[in-house]
């Protein structure tokens, strides 16, 4: 009986050890496609890209449109989603919500500033309104995870809905109240509703990153699935020329 118990104990230990190794391996894989590796690999990946760059609208062309700002995790993902929403004319990846001037990707990505990765959305109010952009914002990320989206963690990936005037603030707050009343989420919404102050464009190699780097592991495993989830949920909001 004692020998049998000993063998069972040994087998149990081996099983726990194997499960622990599998857990560590899964964590290592997840980490390899998360924020830290993004900081290291983004320039290199863009340099290798053979995809033709899309034509960006000039600042003069964009002057006739309204602008909205959002932060909801990795800006590669967020930019790609908003770019394909009907009525959106241009999206710029960048940094906002902090106090430091001229932040860099390495600083923000490593959590060395108070900024979050964000996007600047130029839209035609005749085709889409601010409330619908807010709907896209909440519908394309998890607003209940504090300082985290998917494998990316830290305050630089926090959820922020920026407003430029009281009308936009009211729209955001009313939409949050609606989500709460409808009990859309089982956990509390942690999205910050902040007055917009300043937006800093990200480095050139971040613009249209998902489109230009389709073979990047992060894009394949995180960004594109996130895009597809939103697309499946709100197909009526998406351009036919999208992904």
Using an 8 Å Cβ cutoff, are 217 and 45 in contact?
no
CA 100 – CA 6 distance, rounded (Å): 61
**Residues in a beta bridge with 153:** 148
Using an 8 Å Cβ cutoff, are 214 and 221 in contact?
no
Buried b (16+ CB within 10 A) or exposed e, 98-123: beeeebebebbbeeebebbbbbbbbb
Based on the residue annotation, tell me whether 35 is a catalytic residue of this protein.
Answer: no
CA 156 – CA 242 distance, rounded (Å): 28
- Identify which of 87, 89, 111 has the alpha carbon closest to the alpha carbon of residue 98: 111
- Structure-block tokens of residue 122: 């130029």
Active-site hit among 33, 35, 68, 74 = 74
- Structure-block tokens of residue 199: 């937006």
Residue positions annotated with a catalytic role: 74
């Amino acid at each position: 009986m004692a020998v049998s118990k000993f063998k069972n104990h040994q087998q149990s230990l081996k099983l726990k050890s194997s499960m622990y190794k599998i857990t560590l391996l899964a964590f290592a894989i997840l980490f390899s496609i998360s924020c830290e590796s993004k900081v290291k690999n983004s320039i290199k990946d863009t340099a290798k890209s053979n995809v033709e760059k899309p034509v960006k609208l000039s600042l003069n062309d964009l002057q006739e449109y309204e602008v909205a700002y959002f932060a909801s995790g990795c800006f590669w993902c967020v930019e790609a989603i908003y770019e394909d929403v009907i009525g959106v004319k241009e999206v710029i990846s960048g940094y906002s919500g902090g106090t430091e001037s001229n932040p860099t990707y390495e600083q923000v990505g490593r959590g060395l500033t108070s900024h979050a990765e964000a996007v600047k959305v130029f839209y035609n109010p005749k085709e889409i309104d601010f409330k619908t952009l807010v709907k896209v914002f909440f519908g394309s990320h998890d607003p209940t995870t504090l300082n985290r989206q998917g494998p990316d963690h830290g305050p630089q990936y926090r959820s922020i809905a920026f407003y430029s005037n009281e009308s936009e603030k009211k729209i955001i707050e009313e939409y949050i109240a609606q989500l709460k009343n409808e009990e859309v989420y089982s956990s509390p919404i942690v999205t910050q509703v902040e007055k917009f102050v300043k937006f800093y464009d990200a480095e050139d190699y971040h613009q249209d990153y998902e489109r230009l780097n389709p073979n990047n592991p992060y894009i394949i495993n995180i960004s594109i699935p996130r895009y597809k989830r939103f697309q499946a949920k709100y197909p009526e909001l998406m351009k036919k020329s999208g992904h």
